[in-house]
Amino acid sequence: MDIPDPKSGVLSGLLDYLTSKLEVRDVSLTEELPASVSQMLAWEETNGCSLPSDLKEFYRTNNGLTLTWKYLYNDVVHDIGRLNVNSIQELHLLGGQTQTDIFFSQEGSLISARQPSLNDLDTPLSSDRWSPSLSGRCKTFILDYCPSCGHVCLVYNLENDADCRYWLLDLSLCWHPLSTTFSDYLRLAVVHLALVQWPYALTILGLSPQWERWFRMFIPKRLEIDLELSALQTNSTSIAHTTLDTSKIVIVKPSKEKKSKVEIRPTQGVQGHNN
């Protein structure tokens, strides 16, 4: 199979391993051209944050990448592996500003209502550890989005300028720490063979039964390590849930319309039949 020479050395071993397996299919690595200095400076100026040094070094080599691979099992090809790093242009802020929509009532008067957004979702401060928030005390950028996992995020703690880490925001809107550096995040993905749902192996939620079977097939020793670490987390920490402040949601009831009277008239020229 034709595999481009990876510029990212940390991926070379993974590619060699995958392409050596007979049942592995459709290994694909897409790497973008390096990001320019002006693109990185523009991102930092726009977002008011300095890119972490190792992430900046990555963008100097590859402005994003996508790795996927499949596996033939029982005569069925399964989508097994996926690793994606957004380009610097796609490193977007998660959340956004509050939006206000304007409506017109039947009488013609203006009605404005604040629409709910991700800023309404906030994580309560934990007594034992800091966790991200979707508004206020941190800035969160989407490094990757996987439909079966959630968002992998680069989170800046605005209360501590030196604190910048990588977190998983799962599909139930709970936060889970992944790594303190981008280099560590990439290495973790590689040691897990970029298996889909690999971030869940590092959380107290753990893997789904289906994916745990795949992990036992491909990386049984690494899975045992993850299970031990997950057990330690379960005993020492709790999940950082997000909560929705319903007091911020304004429900606008539509104005009552007057019912129009409908007059039914018999059609001219048509006579009724006498019984």
Task: Give the pLDDT confidence of 36-49 residue by residue, as tens digits.
Answer: 999 999 999 999 99
Cβ-Cβ contacts under 8 Å for 188 (sequence gap 6 or more):
178, 179, 198, 202
Interatomic CA distance for residues 115 and 251, integer angstroms: 9
In this prediction, residue 3 has a pLDDT band, given cuts at 50, 70 and 90, of very low
191-195, 202-206, 235-239, 242-246: which range is least confident on average? 242-246
pLDDT (0 to 100) of residue 162: 65
What counts of helices (H) and strands (E) characterise the chain?
A: 6, 12
Lowest mean pLDDT among 201-215, 216-230, 252-266: 252-266
CA distance 131 to 230: 18
The mean-pLDDT minimum among 25-29, 154-158, 245-249 falls in 245-249
Q: What is the pLDDT at residue 265?
A: 43
Instruction: Inform me whether the pLDDT recorded for 119 exceeds 80.
Output: no
Least confident of 93-97, 129-133, 265-269: 265-269
Q: In the predicted model, what is the mean pLDDT of residues 64-86?
A: 94
Whole-Å CA distances, 166 to 106, 123, 156: 49, 16, 9
Q: What pLDDT was estimated at residue 2?
A: 41
Confidence at residue 6, expressed as pLDDT on a 0 to 100 scale: 45
Residue 1 has pLDDT above 90, yes or no: no
pLDDT at position 129, please? 62
For 187-210, the pLDDT digits (tens) are 999 999 999 999 999 998 889 999
What percentage of the chain exceeds 70 in pLDDT?
67
Q: Which of 16-25, 90-99, 134-143, 265-274 has the lowest mean pLDDT?
A: 265-274
User: For residue range 90-105, what is the model confidence (pLDDT) as tens digits?
Assistant: 999 987 543 434 444 4
- pLDDT of 137 reads 77
Task: Report yes or no: 144 and 123 within 8 Å, Cβ to Cβ.
Answer: no
- Nearest residue to 202 (alpha-carbon basis) of 173, 235, 168, 172: 168
Report the distance separating Cα 113 and Cα 100, nearest Å: 6
The DSSP bridge partners found for residue 78 are 71
Q: Is the pLDDT of residue 28 over 80?
A: yes
C-beta separation of 248 from 120 below 8 A: yes
